[in-house]
Structure 1
């Protein structure tokens, strides 16, 4: 059995109220403004958390089948995750799905700290590459979130 190796953790503070951040993560058409162009989000435990990074493509570069695992409104969102195509045989089969936890914390004024913790990575060179890729990707995702909410100009993640 493989051991858990690491987690990817990224944080950002966004100058908007926690309610806006929460909706940006839990309403499909809002997620589409900063994360993935096509989404299927059902904000309920067991609901879909599907992102399609290439619109219309249901076979690659997506999180098809991923579900919301926990929902604590305005505080925490947890969903399972499928990695990009280059890691699909490693991360996207059966019980090997990783878990993404997003915490929302109101800070001074109307600012919100968003913390993404991505867990479930295992030992091995391929997993190390997956971790490095996700560190880069989550950093970009959070920057896009901040830009979209503060300036209206998000940059979609993981475009080919």
Structure 2
């Protein structure tokens, strides 16, 4: 589950040099980059959960459309998108503006279920770019995203990346997921609040 295993905005491991602060607690690590709070929750037996949360100053409809439509995805996340919004549907994306959906750079994210404007559960197909130990456990990875409209047209989004094992390999990998996801989510916030599309 975006450049995210988000597990979507969670799908290609990108390494960016971002400035972020890390606060360590007994069972979790929190990372805050600008307006996004990322937390690695290790309180579950043998698993960790990557939680990423942000608030954006636009109504819920705009945020939902950014996550669930072709126009939305192509405005902030990827160069090319194809969406089939239904239970058992998909989000197919390609970062390559010269590519096409269905070529070998296409990323396929399955829509497991959704409640309109409330939540969506995603599962990305693991690509060849991922480490071998993740390929073996791909069926365990999901991204559950909650949407909540607050007062005055403000929307809160909270994403849970689940299925990761509480091992040194996964904990090391999380920093890359966090950085890549936060960059994508900042692009989303910028697009929603200013209308400025991300260049691909």
Partner of 1:77: 120
- Give unmatched runs, 5+ long, in structure 2: 1-44
Q: 1:29 aligns with which of 62, 71, 80?
A: 71
Structure number with greater Rg is 2
- CA displacement 1:55-98 (0-9 Å, x = unmatched): 427324x532x310111001101110245654253334574351
The structure in which a higher percent of residues are strand is: 2
SS state of the match for residue 188, structure 2?
A: helix
C-alpha deviations, 1:99-127, integer Å up to 9, x for none? 11111101121010011111111143432
Say whether 1:115 aligns with 2:158.
Answer: yes
Quote the Cα distance in structure 1 between the aligned partners of 2:136 and 2:82: 20
* Structure 2 residue aligned with 1:40: 82
TM-score w.r.t. the length of structure 1 is: 0.82
Distance in 2 between residues matched to 1:93 and 1:18, nearest whole Å: 36
Residue equivalent to 2:179: 136
Query: Compared with structure 1, are the counterparts of its residues 119 and 111 closer, same or farther at alpha carbon in structure 2 (3 Å cutoff)?
Result: same
Contact 1:69/1:79 (CA < 8 Å) preserved in 2?
Answer: yes
Secondary structure of 2:164 counterpart: coil
Q: 2:107 aligns with which of 55, 63, 66?
A: 63
Q: Rate the CA distance shift 1:123–1:63 in 2: closer, same or farther, 3 A.
A: farther
Cα distance in 1, alignment partners of residues 130 and 47 from structure 2: 16
Inter-partner Cα distance in structure 1 for 2:79 and 2:131:
20
Give SS of 2:48's match. coil
Give the drift of 1:153.
2.2
Structure 2 equivalent of residue 18 of structure 1: 60
Structure (1 or 2) with the greater helix fraction: 1
